[in-house]
Structure 1
């Protein structure tokens, strides 16, 4: 009988654990950046925060479409590093991870689709008749921020079973894939064909070099920057270049130390993404004012209501409901020790949207616009509410999680491989 949230084999479990560890640290820095921005934006010195975020370091870059302020450099530039790591992660999942097997991939893919479709429906239901182009923000509540969610887990000290942790990570990866497609297809206002075709040239050279195992930083980094610049000039969001470059890196080809090239790239760039790119973006994007009359306009804006409701209710019901229906129609059962309330907690965690939600908000309504400020407030409120509700659900089961964690990490023979991964055969997908 098929079991949902079954633990992966030990090699895959190690990779997932390493990724989650890095993302948890990055999530803590992301939270710190967001808190500092909020405090600063609501302090007597709020004008200096606005001045900093709107500072243009290169005013003469208009001919190359690079006369961007610091907030735009963070959204278009630093997040390209984040999406490069996402591209590496997606490639690994499709080639060597859970997504390579259709049976194991079905669960996170179905859950991700449900968790993106329902928030969009809720948002449109609230905003379809609203003015000011409000329906354009339909995709804002569809994204899950894995770093933020894992930071909440770390604060809770929750020893969530490895099968559910892997599900949350894979769900977020699939979520990112769909978000990339949404950005490219629905938030490209103008398209310049010549720069777009030009971007394919450095991407092709980059692909040729990495496929041949040539990892010359003095060649790859300029190629990546060139691809980013041309993609930005084309009108397609520049972060798409990061994803395409990540897709180009081979996964299975290994060096003499047994490491895949994608694994090496991810090991080097994930700390930069989680420790620098995303926290700086959070700091420059999350500074929204909740003072005085501004607060009254927030609570009545249908955009705010649609985003908050989509994150809190849409994400949770979409993920939980689609998973339950999949289990019902396939006659699958939950893995040993896991209950439906555990899935409810994970589904609530997935309602924590931040990085990609804020990015889509800027693309939908324009950075610095009044509605963009409302989007930031709505994303923060919806994410905080989802985090609090998830905390209530998960803390109730924390003692059970701790016992499961002790079983999964016990290594009586001292060979470095937990005994639970030796007592039972590996899942079919890893044989």
Structure 2
């Protein structure tokens, strides 16, 4: 494993911004000092560039196995690395669903062989696999995923006895997709009765409504409090839900945490007119007021993490009429630069971006030796040029699906280098693909 010396970087880490050199050896950060004079296999001049801890994305859908015509672990980890994401946690709604320990092991084998980023995979919970769920290794698996609302993959868990068993007995963090299924079905029937098959994307946030989200999230929080469960609620999409979460307790001590996703911070219901199904997600993108409230929740620590919910579908699938078009879209390549755009707009600080995309996921999931720029930690790093403009188009989209909801968007900042577990994997548009990522481990 090669050594790397980074010279004159402006480091963004743990609430501070400072200039320093940084020396990487055998995959770890060995020294962080104002001036380091050592011989290294590689030297990177970082003058004028900002060095962030590599982002840890706690919610992605990379579609392998079974749905690799949409995406796969190699292509999507490659897009993630280009976007400054050095570690990901992938969801179980692949084909087959990851509902047994054997199927979970199969995904780890794929990750070991093909992922350019560090990786972990969630164990999936269904209505009848509690015994399998309880076998999950807390040290080597990021968490248990429970779909408390239907989404891609038919993994809805709607048996209250099963949910009680999972929340009562889970040995580790439970991550939930929260939307009340009965409310969604009622709303859908109401819209079908009025519009037939002519339902449009603008109606999506009314069908998958604020009330559907709040009913499910509040139910999950109640279950967690009753059973002292370590609960993490994914992709908060409404202002109403934010009050369910505590912003006084230090993150390391919280039993109930929440995540916001980049699309719920960037888009609002006014964008459906132009973007249509390209911004159709579950939960739905809602109002500008919801968008603003979610950002405020991130800033005041009611919401702990920013992630992507990266979930590609093909162009052909997304071009279908609303009722046939699946929900989800690719986001890993553009999430960090979108947040940096929000920094340029004065909405969020660089320190807060590092906190929510790197430090907080590491603390929340108890990831070992990652998420911070510290001596002795793995060298997972993203180097940024804040004033290097570029525009997203279909030719520079790296996800296998070949499109992005950000197409046409001009970003002021660029990711120039990404280092994964001490290996320079991405450099100014070029990839070094010989060193795969590592399996994440957890201090539990």
Range into which the TM-score falls when normalised by the shorter chain:
under 0.3
**1 or 2, which has the higher helix percentage?**
1
| TM-score (ref. length: structure 1) | 0.27
If the length of structure 2 is used for normalisation, what is the TM-score?
0.26
